Amino acid sequence: MNHWDYFKISARKAIERGNNDRRGTLVGCVGLSEGKIIQSKNISSMGTSPSAHAEVRTLKKRGNISVLYVSRIAKKDGNFSLAKPCKNCMTRIRAYRVKKVYYTISNSEYGVICL
């Protein structure tokens, strides 16, 4: 699997919310932990807590996550856009000792944060 395969898995997770979410773009996250793939979607439209962000939800599901993939996908055309984790999520990501975070920028570009 390459990076885009993981972005696609996290995007698929994100769009599960479908029409229950009024926002135009949805965020999903995949974490790799000892060979297992952990998935979460953003549910922040259901509340204002930063704990609702996909990254934090993924980290809470299982320990020892070494790599995170975060993708933001547009509902109308399926295009990827910037999914760089927010400041709150970065604080948690560091606390959980994640080593690398990959995030979508566009359909052809992604960014990586090495911690």
Residues that bind Zn ion (CB under 5 A): 53, 86, 89
Residue nearest Zn ion, CB atom distance:
89
86 or 115: CB nearest Zn ion: 86
Q: How far is the CB of 75 from Zn ion (least distance, A)?
A: 19
**Residue 28 and residue 18: Cα distance in Å, rounded?**
12
Number of CB atoms found within 10 A of residue 42's CB: 25
Residues in the chain: 115
Q: Which is nearer to Zn ion, 37 or 86 (CB)?
A: 86
* Minimal distance, residue 35 CB to Zn ion, in Å: 26
What is the SS3 assignment for 36-70? EEEEEECCHHHCCCHHHCHHHHHHHHCCCCCEEEE
Closest to Zn ion by CB, 65 or 89:
89
